[in-house]
Structure 1
């Protein structure tokens, strides 16, 4: 008797193992078998242990699907995916495609159980004789199991699990066998075929038959022709090797194999096979499904959308979980972006900037009363290389890619105006505003105490009235006026109001610092923050947090949890109306925004220029839309914009009205085109007058006594240096600021001006009474005429202005 060699023992072991597995599965009659050869050295005891340890069912993860992001008017912003896949039902797959895949991959699929015994034995014998794996033998069910396990491992992100799912080991093959048995018990053949066709890799980034049909043939799975179906069926064996976009000859050769096999099985006739073989493998342009924000028409906005999606805990516990969900769950995201307004903003940026500019420009538009972000545009391209960036200049640094803002300059004055009106200051409130103004050592109240600067002598950057009202100061952006106003109001109310309107440092997320110069710009602010804060003025004090995502639905169309509108009334409507009145006058002559006014709707706005012109702003609004535009140096060392290029030209001046303003104007013009005319609600008389109390009449008094009297009534009082032209006696009080007849809010600072006596008039001699002196003036009691009002009976008839000016 011949002694068996190792090869004989291998064959015997393989047969024994085949029988053992079949018996263990209890399905020998169903044709179950191991679909591989070369089992020498792998013990049957270990095989049994492996089978006993396996679970009784295959737990799969949801099939990976594409996520779609749309504008508010349903225009595609981006497609996000890990795998380009569009699952469909079996009824949506042409029967010829079903027949093609079954013919080439598992022609007895509908006849055998989880395994094809004939096919497996055939593969076993051929592989054993060849000494290697020359033929597969895996059923469609087994292939589905393998694909499912790989998908599950990929979803987990566990590198070890991914390695195990694709390892070429007997343990994995046996596990797939057990799972295949479980799958056949749980699902019908048609259900398994449907799942397989949706899961299979069809090459060139296409997963599932629907995505493959769209990619290679610009059609659907339901409309696939015979040669198209045959080509796709041939791809699954080797998606890379038979990829028609890289190797059309190999793809055709494989497709024709499928067609001949279909003919052999009498699925198609010889004539059909011959006709199909004569057709080109690809008959049209391959359709690429662009993936990710980099391929979006609005890449910066798209990045911001993804960053907001990543904040949603409903999409996963960790960043990794949420990112996987967003790319695989097949959700449909609808955003606030208005493609028409976005186009208007982009047109404005294109009109006022050019590639290669030193300076950058950005603009964001927000809808008042909703917080919906309607447009977000910036100069420069997206990505690597010269003139490109990944920074989004419109949003805070807390978001991936967010640049983190620029100092906002005098646009901050709007919050001082709002805080002042809220505190009862009238729109006509006057403050002497010299330039420079010595503020060294002056204490400004903060939320925690006071702050001061030892040496500070700010100047005005524009010509201004010597003693402007609030409206006049806003029109000219008078620095020294607003510094004094912020001193009187206090920095805490300004900071609190700004915080309630979404203003915080765009770099750190921390509250704005309460500096002496806060009203002239503080911290770093993004265009999104500023436009959204100004939108609250347009909405009569109603602040809404910025909203860019309006709905998220799963692939079945069911709405998913996502943060909705978040609005609150921050200012009384009457206060906001007062702010709108003041900022509306900025757009009227002689305001700094007068050249930016357009159309019939009421507009309001404010310029902003930071120190050394490193950034300039214009932020403004109508009742329907608010926008903030900025031009800035965004490259360290952050230098003066003057002599840098914008729109291809060197700048010789840089200002909020002349540099950023035109970007704002053309963007708003385009965005508001065709919309109804709107007007601001006029402020009430009480808002215009303010919540003021009477000031005492102190003209002609000793300045120190007048100051004490004012302090005794609860006002802050200071005596202005020097003397002014007046008809009062030299060294006495000439007048107050604010004026006596105007009154002042309780606790406001009142400035006392001292007379030089230059305008004292000598009374003429009475007619027919030469040399008869007039009676002396009565002593000043502080209440002329006994009524405390100027011009009363205590004023000589020849002194009509004794009651103040």
Structure 2
């Protein structure tokens, strides 16, 4: 017997054997014709078990759809997807596309059941002859089943299921057939075709016919032409091999084959076929890639931070991997807080004041007071892995992917010391003798858990010229270190730490609370521009703290709202405390203040500079009632070095300061953000806030200094005698005056400094000839004479006057 005859007889035997098993298994139901290609050697027992074990219904996973992140105005921030797909109804697909796919993949689709017996037999004979699987003969329903099983396995991230769904075995064929029967029972032919066209891979990242139409032709599935439909229909068999963007000639040959098949089946005319065959395969100019992920976004750093926030949401899955898969396949729409106009203003500032090639980095975050909405987030180094690019986000904490983890914030911490002092009833006029350098060696500072002690050689100095008997306002305007160190010593570090924590401040490297160290008020640990902008926004909102908000809503593919953290606000500071902080920091922006050169427009502005040791980072944080922003310029390369002689905006820095280096970045960004908006004002602090919660001070002028100190202590104050002597009318060696002054009063338990007279009268400016003599001040009803810098009116001092 010839070998061919023996092979044919083997085929027949396989057919008879498998048909028998199929009948016994009930698999011929609903008109099913069983595939018998090459089933010799596949046992009846194995076949029966396979069929009996299969469920009666094909359970599919929802189609993977691309998700979108949108800005506040609805513009696209980024697409996120594993498969770029836009599902559509069959009615939204041009009939010529339906005709083309049926013609090339399963021309008897509407005539047969789950399987085309003729097509399968044709494939059987060829495969048996070749000895391998050369032709599938699968119906569209079978192909849909196979694609669905692969999709399900991928969704579950199940390697074994993926291998089983793609294995070139007859066991898989049997399984697919059983599922195909179930699908044909459950859905109509039109429904199956719709599902198939939405599920199929059309190459170059396009899944489903709608995404493919948009990608290759900049059109929709409803508007596809005959040659376009033929090209897409040809792609399904080998999406990468026939991808026109990879090989236009091969794609054209495949398209033309589809057109000729359609002509053979008489579903198009000769004229239609000839016209289509002459059409160029595609126009490269109309190919529209769909960028995927944050790296392709216009706002990559902001986008990555949003994705990190999405991955925290347990509503999207139990694990990070499950949440990531959901976010990239569920077709969700994420609306964010990013304001493109404000982002543009911030980016303009970065572009004007820095360059990607600089050795120093610059970053700005902008937040809306009273909502926590993060409006903008920019930095000088663009996103990427190339030269002068970075994957670090310099605006956010290290716990997020790409988060740099911040920089020490220098004297911007003084704002929290001011708030803590006001909370404790310290007047805005509270005076402390603040020399250029102060010896705090061995000084003890109280903390939330005890005390911390300064080193024996701790002698901090001021970076500005302001020194002497300064009020809190004076010290803030000049950023006087020795004042705020003494102030923090007197009120304790715990109140400062609590205020900072309530305003969202923590170590951006470790996520731990800020350390309560002696120098806390001068800057501590590392914090981010986002933290600083949001904390200062709390002052602008009169003490209402709102956690940073980037995601404003998330909806599913049907537009239904999904659970996501919304605004989270609390009254972190009493409004009158915030009003006091605003008043003090507003003076910083006035002429002569460290931020005086940054004042613009007619709105009230407040802010604070910050410079860390050796100028390794400089800050400016400031706000109006509408917007808060923090800018930083820093060395971001270990080991950190002084910014002086590093480059910013392409030039070597000869100086580095919060006002002169980081300040211009803040100013330009804020000017752009507030442009065209009505002016706003801060709420003036109450008189009680200005004066503080004070007790009367006794009249001590002319007393023995030690006796005066004891008297102050007996009244609940702390007392110290200043070294040296001052000009005074009082007798030499007696008390000249105190700080705070008697007319100011002082908070209970606060430090009162006694100044000793040298016995000489203070020098008065000469009186001009014939000028009138100044009138005697009115009697205040209190011991002693009116003194300079008498504070504003207070119920305890109704007749207080003075300068």
> Aligned partners of 1:556, 1:570: CA distance in 2, in Å?
38
Deviation, structure 1 residue 758: 3.1
How many residues align structurally? 772
Note the 1:278-677 alignment, pairs <5 A. 278-285=278-285, 286-453=287-454, 454-677=456-679
> Aligned partners of 2:79, 2:542: CA distance in 1, in Å?
38
Deviates more, 1:15-24 or 1:678-687: 15-24
- CA contact 1:31–1:118 (8 Å) conserved in 2: no
Aligned to 1:766: none
- CA contact 1:729–1:760 (8 Å) conserved in 2: no
Aligned to 1:244: 244
> Aligned partners of 1:4, 1:393: CA distance in 2, in Å?
73
Residues 370-394 of structure 1: CA deviation (Å, up to 9, x unaligned): 0000000000111112111100000
Aligned to 1:158: 158
Counterpart of 1:69 in 2: which secondary structure? strand
Runs of at least 5 residues in structure 2 that lack an aligned partner in the other structure: 764-778, 787-800
Aligned to 1:235: 235
Note the 1:159-174 alignment, pairs <5 A. 159-174=159-174
Deviation, structure 1 residue 591: 0.4
> Aligned partners of 1:787, 1:112: CA distance in 2, in Å?
110
> Aligned partners of 2:78, 2:413: CA distance in 1, in Å?
36
Determine if the alignment matches structure 1 residue 188 to structure 2 residue 182.
no
> Aligned partners of 2:759, 2:461: CA distance in 1, in Å?
29
Report the CA distance shift for 1:2/1:584 in structure 2 as closer, same or farther (over 3 A): closer
Deviates more, 1:24-33 or 1:372-381: 24-33
> Aligned partners of 1:760, 1:220: CA distance in 2, in Å?
89
Aligned to 2:770: none
Determine if the alignment matches structure 1 residue 789 to structure 2 residue 773.
no
Deviation, structure 1 residue 249: 1.4
Counterpart of 1:552 in 2: which secondary structure? strand
Counterpart of 2:570 in 1: which secondary structure? strand
Runs of at least 5 residues in structure 1 that lack an aligned partner in the other structure: 762-784, 793-802
Report the CA distance shift for 1:204/1:701 in structure 2 as closer, same or farther (over 3 A): same
Deviation, structure 1 residue 754: 2.0
Deviation, structure 1 residue 21: 5.2
Deviation, structure 1 residue 760: 9.2
Deviates more, 1:157-166 or 1:596-605: 157-166
Residues 288-324 of structure 1: CA deviation (Å, up to 9, x unaligned): 1111111100111110010010011000000000010
Deviation, structure 1 residue 435: 1.6
TM-score for the superposition, normalised by structure 2: 0.94
Deviation, structure 1 residue 132: 2.6
Aligned to 1:145: 145
> Aligned partners of 1:308, 1:705: CA distance in 2, in Å?
62
Aligned to 1:765: none
Counterpart of 1:667 in 2: which secondary structure? helix
Residues 418-473 of structure 1: CA deviation (Å, up to 9, x unaligned): 11111111111111101211111111111111111132111111011411111111
Counterpart of 2:427 in 1: which secondary structure? coil
- CA contact 2:436–2:465 (8 Å) conserved in 1: no
Deviation, structure 1 residue 599: 0.5
> Aligned partners of 2:135, 2:341: CA distance in 1, in Å?
58
Report the CA distance shift for 1:21/1:751 in structure 2 as closer, same or farther (over 3 A): farther
Aligned to 1:207: 207
> Aligned partners of 1:706, 1:675: CA distance in 2, in Å?
56
TM-score for the superposition, normalised by structure 1: 0.93
Counterpart of 2:632 in 1: which secondary structure? strand
Report the CA distance shift for 1:305/1:617 in structure 2 as closer, same or farther (over 3 A): same
> Aligned partners of 1:476, 1:399: CA distance in 2, in Å?
36
Deviation, structure 1 residue 13: 4.1
Deviates more, 1:121-130 or 1:46-55: 121-130
Indicate which of 679, 683, 686 corresponds to 1:684.
686
Deviation, structure 1 residue 270: 1.6
> Aligned partners of 1:760, 1:263: CA distance in 2, in Å?
113
> Aligned partners of 2:297, 2:242: CA distance in 1, in Å?
30
> Aligned partners of 1:36, 1:141: CA distance in 2, in Å?
18
Residues 738-772 of structure 1: CA deviation (Å, up to 9, x unaligned): 111111111111111222223399xxxxxxxxxxx
> Aligned partners of 1:26, 1:52: CA distance in 2, in Å?
9
Deviation, structure 1 residue 725: 2.5
Report the CA distance shift for 1:629/1:2 in structure 2 as closer, same or farther (over 3 A): closer
- CA contact 1:445–1:492 (8 Å) conserved in 2: yes
Report the CA distance shift for 1:791/1:266 in structure 2 as closer, same or farther (over 3 A): same
> Aligned partners of 1:184, 1:35: CA distance in 2, in Å?
16
Note the 1:16-95 alignment, pairs <5 A. 16-20=16-20, 22-24=22-24, 26=26, 28=28, 30-35=30-35, 37-95=37-95
Counterpart of 1:354 in 2: which secondary structure? coil
Aligned to 1:775: none
> Aligned partners of 2:375, 2:332: CA distance in 1, in Å?
22
Report the CA distance shift for 1:269/1:5 in structure 2 as closer, same or farther (over 3 A): closer
Counterpart of 2:737 in 1: which secondary structure? strand
> Aligned partners of 1:129, 1:690: CA distance in 2, in Å?
100
Deviation, structure 1 residue 126: 2.4
Deviates more, 1:565-574 or 1:727-736: 727-736
Report the CA distance shift for 1:728/1:346 in structure 2 as closer, same or farther (over 3 A): same
Report the CA distance shift for 1:21/1:65 in structure 2 as closer, same or farther (over 3 A): farther
Deviation, structure 1 residue 721: 2.1
> Aligned partners of 2:9, 2:265: CA distance in 1, in Å?
37
Deviation, structure 1 residue 175: 1.0
> Aligned partners of 2:379, 2:127: CA distance in 1, in Å?
63
Residues 25-54 of structure 1: CA deviation (Å, up to 9, x unaligned): 646475423446222221121111111111
> Aligned partners of 2:48, 2:59: CA distance in 1, in Å?
22
> Aligned partners of 2:251, 2:303: CA distance in 1, in Å?
37
> Aligned partners of 2:31, 2:278: CA distance in 1, in Å?
38
> Aligned partners of 2:397, 2:140: CA distance in 1, in Å?
51
Determine if the alignment matches structure 1 residue 15 to structure 2 residue 9.
no
Report the CA distance shift for 1:554/1:2 in structure 2 as closer, same or farther (over 3 A): closer
> Aligned partners of 1:529, 1:36: CA distance in 2, in Å?
68
Counterpart of 2:206 in 1: which secondary structure? coil
Counterpart of 2:622 in 1: which secondary structure? strand
Determine if the alignment matches structure 1 residue 270 to structure 2 residue 270.
yes
Deviation, structure 1 residue 787: 7.3
- CA contact 1:56–1:182 (8 Å) conserved in 2: yes
> Aligned partners of 2:246, 2:730: CA distance in 1, in Å?
97
Deviates more, 1:512-521 or 1:697-706: 697-706
Residues 114-159 of structure 1: CA deviation (Å, up to 9, x unaligned): 1111211222122223333232210111100000010011111122
Deviates more, 1:389-398 or 1:276-285: 276-285
Deviation, structure 1 residue 786: 13
- CA contact 1:699–1:804 (8 Å) conserved in 2: no
Report the CA distance shift for 1:732/1:111 in structure 2 as closer, same or farther (over 3 A): same
> Aligned partners of 1:570, 1:786: CA distance in 2, in Å?
39
Deviation, structure 1 residue 589: 1.3
- CA contact 1:574–1:684 (8 Å) conserved in 2: yes
Aligned to 1:720: 722
- CA contact 1:348–1:667 (8 Å) conserved in 2: yes
> Aligned partners of 1:21, 1:613: CA distance in 2, in Å?
84
> Aligned partners of 1:406, 1:658: CA distance in 2, in Å?
18
Aligned to 1:771: none
> Aligned partners of 1:22, 1:230: CA distance in 2, in Å?
37
- RMSD of the TM alignment (CA)? 2.0
- CA contact 1:790–1:804 (8 Å) conserved in 2: no
Report the CA distance shift for 1:25/1:262 in structure 2 as closer, same or farther (over 3 A): farther
Counterpart of 1:432 in 2: which secondary structure? strand
Counterpart of 1:721 in 2: which secondary structure? strand
Counterpart of 1:720 in 2: which secondary structure? strand
Report the CA distance shift for 1:541/1:36 in structure 2 as closer, same or farther (over 3 A): farther
Deviates more, 1:325-334 or 1:157-166: 157-166
> Aligned partners of 1:740, 1:804: CA distance in 2, in Å?
13
Deviates more, 1:695-704 or 1:74-83: 695-704
> Aligned partners of 1:136, 1:149: CA distance in 2, in Å?
17
> Aligned partners of 1:168, 1:2: CA distance in 2, in Å?
29
> Aligned partners of 2:20, 2:370: CA distance in 1, in Å?
73
Deviation, structure 1 residue 804: 12
Aligned to 2:110: 110
> Aligned partners of 1:312, 1:183: CA distance in 2, in Å?
35
Residues 214-262 of structure 1: CA deviation (Å, up to 9, x unaligned): 1111100000011111111111111122111111111111111111211
